[in-house]
Amino acid sequence: MVLNKDQLLNEFYASVEKSLGKISYACVHILICILFSISTFYLIPIHVASTDKQTSQVTYLHTFNCLIFASVEYFLLKCKSTKKNIYTYRTYSFKRVGYCKICGKEKYPRVHHCSICNSCTLRMDHHCHFLNCCIGLHNLKFFFLFLLYAFAIVSIHFRLSILVLVSHQKVPNFSYVLPSISLLICLSCGISTFVLLAVQFLLISFNMTTIEFFAFLNKLKHDEFHFNHFNKSLIENWEDAFHVESFARLLLAFLPFFDL
């Protein structure tokens, strides 16, 4: 089969985006490791030395630090590794509307084909270039929880970095380098993470995907009426996004390692 110029260009762009996605995904892991190393081996010891904390408090700080970083890595890996067909088309609650023109698979409402992944995704939200994967029904909850725990980390360590920079008088040979690096990482990542987290919180609350949101904005621009057929009650919208059937399981889903 001979491909035309446009098809070749599309394949080239898709391969470039996929390669850049792998690099950005590795960078996310590297940033997490850097922040964990700085906090574990420098910020927490400096903070303990400057505040004269007891041994039990030091143990608690290190345990909490390890747990929250492990949670972020867990949600990041689950978001990337969870297969798209974890929820089959048979369990999808919508009727078929046709077949995908690209891959030939059954087409349902909220199902879209990703040109980078070259596959269809149930309840596709968007293709995340930083995680190098599609965000959809199979991993939406892991994506949201990754953002939630990541924002918690950068918020806590931003405060810790400030405390270390302010109260370091008791520490001999103190260096501003590592706390400043931690502060810079937390500030830059914190802003972007907060924006993404806020957007996803609103979208899930209204049972809307990013694709549907842009379609909604486009209709508003042309003064057209838009009705969200998927919107239910607030709790039901979150249960749909997290693919659970009760409020109790929804609360449990926010805990790390719950799916193990």
Model pLDDT, residue 87 = 62
Give the amino acid at 212.
E
Task: Write out the two tokens for 148.
Answer: 């939630």
User: Tens digits of per-residue pLDDT, 3-47?
Assistant: 566 667 777 776 777 788 889 999 999 999 999 999 999 999 888
For 27, the token pair is: 């960078």
Which of 4-8, 60-64, 122-126, 224-228 has the lowest average pLDDT? 4-8
Environment class of 8 (CB within 10 Å of its CB; exposed 0-12, middle 13-18, buried 19+): exposed
- pLDDT of the residue at 1: 46
Higher pLDDT, residue 23 or 259:
23
- Least confident piece of the model among 147-151, 209-213, 220-224: 220-224
Active site residues: 128
The answer to whether 237 touches 204, Cβ cutoff 8 Å, is yes
- The residues spanned by each domain of the chain are 7-82+131-253
Cβ neighbours around 16 below 10 Å, total: 11
Mean pLDDT rounded to a whole number for the chain = 87
Q: Which of 201, 209, 251 is nearest to 229 (CA)?
A: 209
What is the pLDDT confidence band of residue 229, given thresholds at 50, 70 and 90?
confident
Which is more confidently placed, 259 or 140? 140
pLDDT-derived band of residue 86, with 50, 70 and 90 as boundaries? Answer: low
Please tell me which residue, 119 or 147, carries the higher pLDDT value: 147
* pLDDT (0 to 100) of residue 47: 86
**Which helix (DSSP H) or strand (DSSP E) does residue 121 occupy?**
strand 119-121
Q: What is the pLDDT of residues 56-84, one digit of tens each?
A: 788 888 999 999 999 999 999 999 998 88
